[in-house]
Structure 1
């Protein structure tokens, strides 16, 4: 008999502490006869972590220890890189002077350099990186595949196609280009989703294969538009297609910030459904999740986030691919982690833009070149890792 086995008292002996018939013990007789029902453990005992309840308790958020710590470190790293980026350039500003300028207590020169010239570009990078990180996390979770990011499965290419039509065919301004990028991304997503849908729902591998095919087709359309355009228009479109934060200001920041501020909370609200769907459609349905409706809503949210980022800075490659996987490995989480993915995406894009500005200074590279170089190395590592894992 193990040490945890209940003690059996002899007949007629008083109840021993911990015996099955002891008052309050599991299985003890209730006053009306019959065993006393076991108490279910609370949610806090089953799933540890700090819980935050919003909207009068209708919305509950769980803050697990390690993801919270990783998010704090990523936020601290992002703020550090931001201060360095705001202070580095042809006119160097020390970190204390950067902080004073941000607080409105700097000199006229530092205020102009930090707040007027450099801050809008930095904030566009943070917003775009966060949007790409969350979009990639959603798509990878839905596809249940680390390659299921919007730049791999064609959604970012579709947004670029919409923007190119506006730039090269209709000659629209910045606002029209942004709207066309969003519409192009949504149209591509709806076509890919419809072609991936089969009886029983959308399968991850079908979504990836159809998305890759759609991306290849749209890439050929983009190439055709570039060939038929004039030299000046083709040059401007080529720079935009690379993905760049050069010249980005408040005009690009405000619409992107408003869109992300609306879309990100909606993604967080659907996050529990996304985590339950990772266990399989059947398991999610048994838990009361409307699987297809939730999947479609998440696809629309992820496409809008991706299209918003593309409209603000052009199609920046590999951030949506790498950020969610790096965040998941740091948090050691079995499920999707949207907030760490957003912070990792913002950090990756900010660091890449800082390097693009300083590696070949005074020449400033488009940030898309830097992310493509880093992302290519990451993709090679990821494919090698998955291949080795498959051979075990």
Structure 2
């Protein structure tokens, strides 16, 4: 049993197709930026999980929420399972794993939310509504309009679902919707496929049973207390391990999802949901880098590429771009050539102007920007030598702008 609609949807997500549709050709500089963080403050998948994943009765609203815990622990469980299959970023030591390496762990936290949101009755219109609530990062519009005057092109590259953010871009008017490149999230197509093949009730029952067990674990192995006006939840380490085991049973044993290349070769997952999750081509760490480089090659060339991001899943893109800015995120600042801590993205525009002027190396650019900004933002050299003090400044600003719980 396979569904041609889902097959066609996922095949259309090839990186080349995304680049072809971006209409980003032309001479000049390109800013390839993460969307969530540098451009918009929301994380609408995490927000939907928080709002809709909770017990039907007796739910205890606290931070982190049920949905946030499920989101984070599922990702950690999966990351542990495929640790040996990740292609190393440095020099490989020893033999590769049986069956080869996989890129499929990238972006899985997003696609793994799909079965849970379907089970909670979330539809695509709800996700679009959540996305449209995302506020622009302060100064992002001014930065975008300034780049347009300079003749720059700007593309937003995100692991998040592409289509809701294209709607956000269309609404805001300062980011071309076709230049938002992101992941699929086939909620409506998945439901149609399951219903068409008579699998909806059976496979939703698996997802709902997983959620009931997960909620019971969280409630049974947590302490909740008031911290001022905030209700806090501490989920025990023993509870985390049990939840990860339950996650593995749901995704690996019940849905039949595998990301081991040797396992997947010549077989289909036994469930429709499993096949949809496996087939969805996510925009992850390395594909973000590939998209940025491909877009740059179609315009002014890779030498005129600047990458910008605020999270660990932007690190590969930041490392591979000739110029890069890690903004309001310690993992991003460690990967980038330049670190920026700011509550106004127009400060990044100052950086981009000096990069365009070709004043010299990174240190020369930083010196000119510091002089112009005169303390309005923190600008520093990025890289592995980031001090604990700088790391904390990045964390504090990220929490200030995006809230206490940020996935990346």
TM class by shorter-chain length? under 0.3
> TM-score, normalising length from structure 2?
0.22
Q: Give the number of the structure whose residues are more often helix, by fraction.
A: 1
Which protein shows a greater Rg? 1
TM-score with structure 1 length normalisation? 0.23
